[in-house]
Structure 1
Amino acid sequence: MLKRLNTVRYTYIRSLLYGLFLTTVTLLAILLSVFVLFQPGWLDVTSIFITILLYICLGVFISIYVGFKSSSDMKDRMDYLSVLITQLSRGNYTSRVYFSEEDEIARIGDELNELGEKLQNQVRSLQRMADERAEYAKSAHKAATIEERQRLARDLHDAVSQQLFALTMMSQASLRLFDRDPAQAREQLEEISATALKAQTEMRALLLHLRPVDLSGQPLKKGVQELVAELRQKCQINFQLKVEEIEALSATAEEHLFRIVQESLSNTLRHANATEVTLQIVERHNELFLHIADNGSGFDVNTDERKKTSYGLKTMKERCEEIGGTFSIRSQVGAGTHIDIRIPL
């Protein structure tokens, strides 16, 4: 009931009744002043109060009638505006309202019509941008695939190919020395064994990059667990794994984090000579914490040694920043490497 009394129609009626009250008080004051000062014969207390009472009754009736009549048009126009706003809020940006009057309400209607047109144009722009973004994503995927292939080819040439060539040369030299100097041939065989092990490690790291770029619909926890399980079968590394199920993480963020883990483990296999790796993905205080550490050889982050893993570290940092995270790395020669990533949820 109280809410109904706050409508435009009742506001009109209240304003008219308030004007009636002020007019009544003024008229009563004038009549009483004339009666007290001049005391005319035609004016007495009874006639004053009868006049005021009739004036109030007539004024109340007229105020209610005029209030209803004059507010009907205003209420209808306000209802039109309310319907238009509701339609705009529901996404129907083609709705319009038109008034023949030239007042403030008509101006508000014109501004709402202009707003609907702008919203409609923005929706068209967003749809066009979505289409362009999809095409750009396809082009970017192709470019990334080509870049990754070129990188793998370069790594195969720079690392595995040279090691295989060295193995060939050392094995041929060992065959020639086998009869003349067995001791030296034994030393070269040991070098061949170490080089072969290093080439095998390089190849495993490169094969790690040939895994699917995305999680193929799997959650991050399962994808990381399968990745580590595969490495456990192929590498003599002790993995300490702790991965929590994080529901607030988007699919895009999961894919980026999976690729960061993949890149980090690849660097560990190729450069760290580690025997133990710790991998943690946990949620703390509306943030995701990713911690990767190894007990490998480490490196000085301020020297040229970092160039060995600079490409992978740059890629991890860029992926982290794309999903709004922070990336930090700590490493010392002989003390392993620690990577810490924080992603707000």
Structure 2
Amino acid sequence: MHQRLKGIRFIFIRSHIFVLFLSSFILLSILLSVYVLFEPEWLTTKSVFLFIISHLLIGFPLAFYAGFNGNGNYLKTSFDAITLLIKQYANGNYQSSIQLLDNGDDEIHRAANSLNELGKKLQNQVKSLQKMADEKSELAKSAHKTAVIEERQRIARDLHDAVSQELFALAMLSEAAIKQLDLKPELAKTQMLEVSQSAHQAQTEMRALLLHLRPVYLSGESLVEGLHKLINELKQKSNLQFKLKLDDQLEMKETIEEHIFRIVQESLSNILRHANATEVYVEISKKSEEIFILIEDNGEGFDMAETDGKKTSYGLKTMKERSEEIGGTFTVRSNIDEGTYIQIRIPYEEERRRRM
């Protein structure tokens, strides 16, 4: 209620009431001055105060009405529409526009027209970004051999940094457990539990690396077909439970589908390696004039203020860059022991895709 009293309508009402009381005071001063100086017979103190009181009683509801339904109402509805349009632009819905009730040429109409022009420019920029993504995709395909070599080198580094170290630890712990088996069976049991944990971690790292070994491109498959195949493989090789909501009717450019596929692939790899999750929800659907992507897990989560320099943040950075390359907005939320929530919105223009 206190916030509403600060609104534009109530500002106009207060200004009208202020003018009403100011004019009443001036009229009272003038009439009393005439009465004192000239003492006309037609003017009495009763008539002066009766006039002023009548002026206030009639003027007060008129001032309230004029402030509420006059310019105050016009300004409020105009600013509400402008604020809503700005929120739509902030959410990536650049197709939105504003049309005020009347065709004027005041500052508000000029601001509305400028926002409409901004929306058109943003749409053109998104198309330019998507066109650049198409060109980048073609360049990436032409340099596929180089990319394969770089990917092999990266996987070799990951194998050395993660899996190789885990296997070395497994070997050391196993040897120590064998030596302690007869002398200290309890210690040997503890060491074998550590062996089991290390084996599980190595297995998880290997699954994530195998996930990255999948083809970079969909190879003629639709996005939904490629994701179903990817997730079915993960179901067989991990304990993750998946809940999917994929729109089969979406038709997108090949480049956009490939970017979305790699984003989902990267997010699932992150979940396998870092989240210790048991359930994953993946949604890809059309909402309004945009593609909506949601990837959510029930894992350990992380403190977003402490991700700098960690492997998790590298994956998130890659997903964010891929989203922005096709004009999308990337949002991630996570807390310790509350899982991770990734949301991506990409401007959508339906286009039938030709497949061989």
Provide, for residues 204-232 of structure 1, a one-character-per-residue CA deviation record: whole Å limited to 9, x for no partner: 01000001111110111111111111111
Q: CA deviation at 1:247?
A: 3.3
Would you say 1:298 and 2:298 are equivalent positions? no
Going from structure 1 to structure 2, the CA distance change for 1:250 and 1:304 (only over 3 Å counts) comes to: closer
Match of 1:214 in 2: 217
CA distance in 1, matches of 2:203, 2:142: 34
Equivalent positions of 1:244-323 (< 5 A) are 244-304=247-307, 307-323=310-326
Would you say 1:188 and 2:191 are equivalent positions? yes
Q: CA deviation at 1:143?
A: 3.8
Q: Which runs of 5+ in 2 are unaligned?
A: 1-134, 349-356
Match of 2:38 in 1: none
Going from structure 1 to structure 2, the CA distance change for 1:198 and 1:282 (only over 3 Å counts) comes to: same
Tell me which moved more, 245-254 or 262-271. Answer: 245-254
CA distance in 2, matches of 1:318, 1:147: 19
TM-score (norm 1): 0.59
Q: CA deviation at 1:149?
A: 1.9
Task: Assess if the C-alpha contact under 8 Å between 2:328 and 2:346 holds in 1.
Answer: yes
Q: Secondary structure of 2:294's match?
A: strand
Tell me which moved more, 334-343 or 301-310. Answer: 301-310
Provide, for residues 21-54 of structure 1, a one-character-per-residue CA deviation record: whole Å limited to 9, x for no partner: xxxxxxxxxxxxxxxxxxxxxxxxxxxxxxxxxx
Q: CA deviation at 1:311?
A: 1.9
Would you say 1:339 and 2:336 are equivalent positions? no
Q: CA deviation at 1:140?
A: 4.0
Task: From 165, 177, 182, give the equivalent of 1:162.
Answer: 165
Provide, for residues 49-93 of structure 1, a one-character-per-residue CA deviation record: whole Å limited to 9, x for no partner: xxxxxxxxxxxxxxxxxxxxxxxxxxxxxxxxxxxxxxxxxxxxx
CA distance in 2, matches of 1:244, 1:334: 30
Task: Assess if the C-alpha contact under 8 Å between 1:299 and 1:305 holds in 2.
Answer: no
CA distance in 1, matches of 2:346, 2:316: 17
Would you say 1:197 and 2:200 are equivalent positions? yes
**Segments of 4+ in structure 1 off by > 4 A?**
132-136
AA at the equivalent of 2:262? R
AA at the equivalent of 1:197? H
Task: From 141, 145, 170, give the equivalent of 2:144.
Answer: 141
Equivalent positions of 1:1-40 (< 5 A) are none
CA distance in 2, matches of 1:324, 1:293: 22
Q: Secondary structure of 2:327's match?
A: coil
Q: Secondary structure of 2:215's match?
A: coil
Task: Assess if the C-alpha contact under 8 Å between 1:293 and 1:337 holds in 2.
Answer: yes
Which of the two has higher C-alpha Rg?
1
Q: CA deviation at 1:308?
A: 2.3
AA at the equivalent of 1:179? D
TM-score (norm 2): 0.57
Task: Assess if the C-alpha contact under 8 Å between 1:253 and 1:323 holds in 2.
Answer: yes
Q: CA deviation at 1:134?
A: 9.0
Q: Secondary structure of 2:189's match?
A: helix
Q: CA deviation at 1:323?
A: 1.1
CA distance in 1, matches of 2:324, 2:339: 24
Match of 1:27 in 2: none
Task: Assess if the C-alpha contact under 8 Å between 2:241 and 2:280 holds in 1.
Answer: yes
Q: Secondary structure of 1:269's match?
A: helix
Going from structure 1 to structure 2, the CA distance change for 1:306 and 1:279 (only over 3 Å counts) comes to: farther
Task: From 209, 216, 241, give the equivalent of 1:238.
Answer: 241
AA at the equivalent of 2:172? M
Q: Which runs of 5+ in 1 are unaligned?
A: 1-131
CA distance in 1, matches of 2:136, 2:191: 57
Q: Secondary structure of 2:314's match?
A: helix
Tell me which moved more, 323-332 or 301-310. Answer: 301-310
Task: Assess if the C-alpha contact under 8 Å between 1:299 and 1:306 holds in 2.
Answer: no
The CA RMSD measured in Å over matched residues stands at 2.0
Task: From 221, 224, 229, give the equivalent of 2:232.
Answer: 229
AA at the equivalent of 1:265? L
AA at the equivalent of 2:236? Q
Task: Assess if the C-alpha contact under 8 Å between 1:296 and 1:336 holds in 2.
Answer: yes
Q: Secondary structure of 1:302's match?
A: helix
Task: Assess if the C-alpha contact under 8 Å between 2:329 and 2:345 holds in 1.
Answer: yes
Going from structure 1 to structure 2, the CA distance change for 1:241 and 1:297 (only over 3 Å counts) comes to: same
Task: Assess if the C-alpha contact under 8 Å between 1:246 and 1:283 holds in 2.
Answer: no
Q: Secondary structure of 2:322's match?
A: helix
- Larger RCO (CA within 8 A; separation ≥ 6): 2
